[in-house]
Amino acid sequence: MNEASALPADIPPGFRLIAWEGVTFNSTNGPFYLKHEDGDVALGFRVEQRHCNPAGILHGGMMMTLADMTSGFGTSIKAGIDKFMPTVNMTFDFVASGRIGDWVEGRCEVLKVTRSLAFASVMLTTQAGPLLRASAVLKIPSGEGLRWKRAPLIG
Amino acid sequence: MTASSTASSVLPPGFAEIPPMSGFGRAMGPWYEKTENGKGILGFRAGERHINRLGIIHGGMMMAFADVVLSEAQRRVTGRPSVTMRMAVDFVSPARLGDWIEGVGEVTRSTRNLVFVRARIWRGKHTLMTASGVFNFIRPRGEDGKPLPEQE
């Protein structure tokens, strides 16, 4: 079995599995997928029961998680910053609700990069349209910042 | 048993586990609560499934906790179910594996349809996050999925 065939069939084309190692928040709540081709950067996941709240709709915590990851990955890739950038502030408008089976994907626009901060705008969507609008302020560490290694992509 | 779950056996006094009510709550719990001066203080012990690869509590986890703290504060005051409409968070200081983290919220205003809440999350003497949220009341639904009649 080659690596590409390991991805579930319902993952949209262009997305690759982010293969985080060990037990972390991301590996517990994932799988998450990254698309990076032709200048398009997007993160996505498929909504399951374990991502939902008591009302059976996608938990706000999961939406904010994907928005946080989208701003981190998106700003890093688009602005070419190869450091871990801690989030300083995020603001969210929950414009719709997600349901089990939905494919949620996030895209990020980098508004401004200064010496120490990056400002990003994030939108999460499903097949039904906008789900969450977010804005993020990220800190660009002086020096190397925390040591980290990008997770490999599969698929 | 991992080092972090050994530490988690020590629960600060007054806290009791909240029964997990949802898939996400079960995956990220257990969550704990105690009542102090009529307010619900929520808490959790940061384990491996809450951290990123740098050993810091994931921003998504902190924001999920803030969402729960804010909505619990509004539920205690109004007694009505709600959904999050707007939320803002400031990451004041990072939290790490093994930390015991607490949070409490306060309703600033409640209107016919909306409730405004702010919250603080801390570890010991250190503020980790400040948050605010606007919640939209929802009509409870019956078993047939239709909204129940409004109760005054």
B76 touches chain A (CB under 8 A): no
User: For residue A47, is it within any domain?
Assistant: yes
Nearest to B23 among A23, A51, A90 (CB): A51
Beta carbons of A24 and B90 less than 8 Å apart: no
Domains of chain B, earliest start first: 3-137 (3.10.129.10)
Task: Find, among A47, A39, A36, the residue nearest to A13 by Cα.
Answer: A36
Nearest to A28 among B22, B49, B87 (CB): B49
What was the ipTM of the complex prediction?
0.87
Task: Find, among A61, A9, A81, the residue nearest to B50 by Cα.
Answer: A61
pLDDT of residue A2: 47
User: For residue A5, is it within any domain?
Assistant: no
Query: How sure is the predictor about B3, in pLDDT bands with cuts at 50, 70 and 90?
Result: very low
Task: Find, among A143, A25, A69, the residue nearest to B95 by Cα.
Answer: A25
Instruction: Give residue A58's domain range.
Output: 16-147
In angstroms, the separation between the Cα of residue B17 and the nearest Cα of chain A is: 17
Q: Look over chain A and give the mean of its residue pLDDT values, rounded to a whole number.
A: 91
Report the predicted TM-score, pTM, of the whole model to 2 decimal places: 0.88
Beta carbons of A59 and B64 less than 8 Å apart: yes
User: For residue A139, is it within any domain?
Assistant: yes
Residue ranges in chain A assigned as alpha helix (H):
25-29, 60-79
In angstroms, the separation between the Cα of residue B87 and the nearest Cα of chain A is: 5
Assign residue A75 the CATH number of its domain: 3.10.129.10
Structural contact between residues A87 and A72, judged by C-beta atoms closer than 8 angstroms: yes
C-alpha span between B87 and B66 (Å, rounded): 9
Residues B25-52 pLDDT 10s: 888 989 999 999 889 999 999 999 999 8
B1 touches chain A (CB under 8 A): no
Q: Between A and B, how many CB-CB pairs are < 8 A? A: 125
Write down how long chain B is.
152
Residues A48-58 pLDDT 10s: 999 998 778 99
When divided into structural domains, chain A yields a total of 1
User: For residue A118, is it within any domain?
Assistant: yes
Burial of B81 (0-12, 13-18, 19+ CB in 10 A): middle
User: For residue A89, is it within any domain?
Assistant: yes
Distances (CA, A) of A24 to A84, B52, B87, B146: 16, 5, 25, 39
Contacts of B113 (CB under 8 A, 6+ apart): B136, B137
Nearest CA in chain B to A26: B52
In the numeric block, the tokens 């919640």 are attached to B135
User: For residue A127, is it within any domain?
Assistant: yes
Nearest CA in chain A to B92: A88
User: For residue A109, is it within any domain?
Assistant: yes
Structural contact between residues A53 and A62, judged by C-beta atoms closer than 8 angstroms: no
Query: How sure is the predictor about B143, in pLDDT bands with cuts at 50, 70 and 90?
Result: low
User: For residue A155, is it within any domain?
Assistant: no
For range A1-18, the mean pLDDT:
77
